[in-house]
Amino acid sequence: MSILACVLAAVAAICVYACVAHVFAARHPWFRAVHLTFAALALMAAVHATSHIAVYSADSVARYVAAERYANLSGAFAMALVPWLVQGYFAAGSRWVAIVMSAFYALSGILYELAAIGSSSRPAPLLEKIVLPWGETATIHRLPTVPLAAWIFWAVSLLLLAYIAILCAGQRQRRGSLPAVAMTASICVLMLTLAGNMLIIAADLDFIFLGEFGFLALVLTMMRLLSGEESYRAMIGQASVGIFVLSAAGRFLDANRVGRSMLARTQAELRELSLKDIVVDGNIAPPGSRATHPLRRGDGTTVLADISSQQLSDGRMLCVALNVTETLRIETALQLLAESGPAQDTAAFAERCAETLAQAFCARHGAVSVVDQSGTTQAILGEWPPQRGSSGYPLAGSPCAQLTAQRRSMYVTGLATAFPAHAPFAAYPSGAYLGAAILNSAGAVTGVVEIWDEAPFAVGPGSQQILETFAHRIGAELERAAADRDLRELTATLEVRVAARTSELEQVNEELEAFSYSVSHDLRGPVRAVDAHASMLLTEADAVLDAGARRHVEGIVQAARRMGDLINGLLQLARLSHQPRNLQIVDLSQLATHSIELLQERDRERRVEFACAPTLRASADPTAIGIVLTNLIENAWKYSSRVAHARIEFGAQRQGTRTVYFVRDNGVGFEMQHARRLFKPFQRLHAQGDYPGMGIGLATVERLIRRVGGSVWAESAPGQGATFYFTLEAGN
């Protein structure tokens, strides 16, 4: 391979590397179009250099023309991309200029290649062999006359050079002198190499064509410029603050993504403005200082920005802006929240909160309101500024209705459109609204805290969070104030109520103690004596008693023993009122299973199916709840004794906010009209001979359940079994 071919291959390799590198660089969002344009130009330059390897080694006119076609077309298309590269790099200039120039370059190359060889538009080339300074030979061509396409090419090239020079000169203040001078110089080198090509063709200059070396100079220059531009763009693009470059006159020249988002304006919109156009108060701190300014956004809202500025050496000014709207708003709101005292008067407290929020958010209106008991009206507790006579509004169509449904803060603009049925917002078509739901300790929505203004105002996540914090604070304070009022009312009557209740309890206790004493000492002794004497009569006079007398004596013994059981039941009921409560978490399923196991052990001949819900737990007194479950399960066991396939079930179900436990059997059942007698002592619905018992078990259940604030009831039908339900205290 010749030295010339190696040089051209190296030029092509550099251009290919530049193409591939900038195709990958175009993956990033900033400067993408310029990277892609440059990559295409570098690719055309690589094709141009590679095609000249075949041009210089051609040994016939046909081969020379075929190789030259690729060189001419790639060179024309490369030149067509140069206006777009310059226009994109400086982000300035008219696109129509780039379009016209690119079209001339592309059309001149295409028309030249379409023209017939030997015609006036394309004279036949005259091939020559030249000897290069290092001794190598190369094939070039001469033309007897310069074709029209070449004159057009050069005319457009001169226009391009003038356009680039004017554009670069106009952009020196924006980018600095180095990029403009470097780009202008590299394009001048490219033009000189193309002029050298014309001298070789028309003036018999014995040297190789220089166009590919001109393209190489442009590629190397642009690689250096784009590398620096990429670093600059990456640095300001990744910054978390707004960065602006202003001219010496204060007009915007450039802005990063955060800066454009902060001002809600595009790059093109900013270039039409100066810093004075967006500073609300017009007071701009001098360069080298730092100050907070209110800035007018493109959407009409205002943000507070902490701006630091610095004068650059070429007269431009660099500004770094930090959006402190949310920070100052949160600090102000938290300070006011900390300074707000307790609510001695609900209306005054609500009005103070509305004023505090309006000040913190720089809004003209604030209000605290609650949903009334009917759930249809939004009643105003406090409003800023105070509006006499505005007691409330219908809940339907108001922001409070939406906040009640979504249970989180809400920001809305265009109030008349968003809430056409809400009277206070009818005159605010461009206003803004921010509200948050007030929740009570149970999590229910009880009202809303809101601010609004006739003009839009900027709101971020921090503003919504601080308003929700205020809403929680207001809800807690209103609930505390209500509880305080209830406490004062309760305290006013507490002494009288305590004295009356104490007297009632003392009287009940005295009566219960007297009754217990009477039963223990006045009834149990005689009953035991009757039982003992009758038993002795059966034993000692067995020989003299006939069958009838024996039956009478045995009846006396049974009646005495039944009387003793009744007395024991009465004593058991009496003792229940004196037993202390010992609340703890109890496994009800385990207690129920244990009760059924004892019954199975006592009566091994019976087979009863028992269904028990697993791991039912509740806060209860283990002894008391054990007695309840034992009595209910024994009751179900007894009254299902005559069923072929007896079944007993223990479980629980939810009814609203409470848990209801039940014991169900498929036994004999009863008429519901007699259900009220079930829980009275010694009341029975079935004959003693059919189902033995004294009627004390369900009375015991009812008294124990009532002691813990629960309730017990039954549902049944004759022949369809019975279900006994009970609840425990709140939360169980």
Decide: 269 and 258 in contact? Cβ < 8 Å.
Answer: no
**In the structure encoding, which two tokens stand for residue 721, read together?**
């079994």
| CATH 3.30.565.10 applies to domain 584-726 | yes
pLDDT at 279 over 90: no
Q: What is the pLDDT of residue 649?
A: 94
pTM of the model: 0.40
pLDDT digit string, tens, across residues 517-561: 566 556 666 777 777 777 777 777 777 777 777 777 777 876 776
Helical ranges in 391-546 per DSSP H? 399-406, 415-418, 461-518, 524-540
Q: What is the pLDDT of residue 376?
A: 77
Q: What is the pLDDT of residue 423?
A: 77
Topology (CATH level 3) of domain 3-236: Rhopdopsin 7-helix transmembrane proteins (1.20.1070)
What value, to the nearest 5°, has the Cα angle with vertex 287 and ends 282 and 292?
A: 50
Superfamily of domain 340-489: GAF domain (3.30.450.40)
CA-based R_g, the chain, Å: 50
HSE-CB at 377 with a 13 A cutoff on CA atoms is 10
Q: What is the pLDDT of residue 94?
A: 66
Number of C-beta neighbours around residue 454 at 10 A: 15
**In the structure encoding, which two tokens stand for residue 464, read together?**
């919504």
pLDDT digit string, tens, across residues 628-638: 888 899 889 88
Looking up tokens 């015991």 gives 700
What DSSP assignment string belongs to 614-679? Answer: TT-EEEE-HHHHHHHHHHHHHHHHHHTTT-TT-EEEEEEEEETTEEEEEEEE-S----GGGGGGTT
Q: Where are the domains of the chain?
A: 3-236, 239-323, 340-489, 515-576, 584-726
pLDDT at 282 over 60: yes
pLDDT at 731 over 60: no
pLDDT digit string, tens, across residues 402-430: 887 777 788 888 888 888 888 778 777 77
Decide: 698 and 731 in contact? Cβ < 8 Å.
Answer: no
Q: Which helix (H) or strand (E) holds 111?
A: helix 95-114
Topology (CATH level 3) of domain 239-323: Beta-Lactamase (3.30.450)
Q: What is the pLDDT of residue 566?
A: 59
Identical fold for domains 3-236 and 584-726, yes or no, is: no
Q: Are strands 609-612 and 126-131 parallel, antiparallel or unpaired?
A: unpaired
pLDDT digit string, tens, across residues 309-366: 887 655 678 889 988 877 777 777 667 666 665 656 777 778 888 887 887 777 888 8
- Give, in order, the Cα–Cα distances in Å from 438 to each of 46, 303, 600: 70, 28, 57
- Give, in order, the Cα–Cα distances in Å from 618 to each of 235, 590, 660: 63, 12, 11
Write the single-letter amino acid at 715: E
Q: What is the pLDDT of residue 323?
A: 83
Decide: 613 and 657 in contact? Cβ < 8 Å.
Answer: no
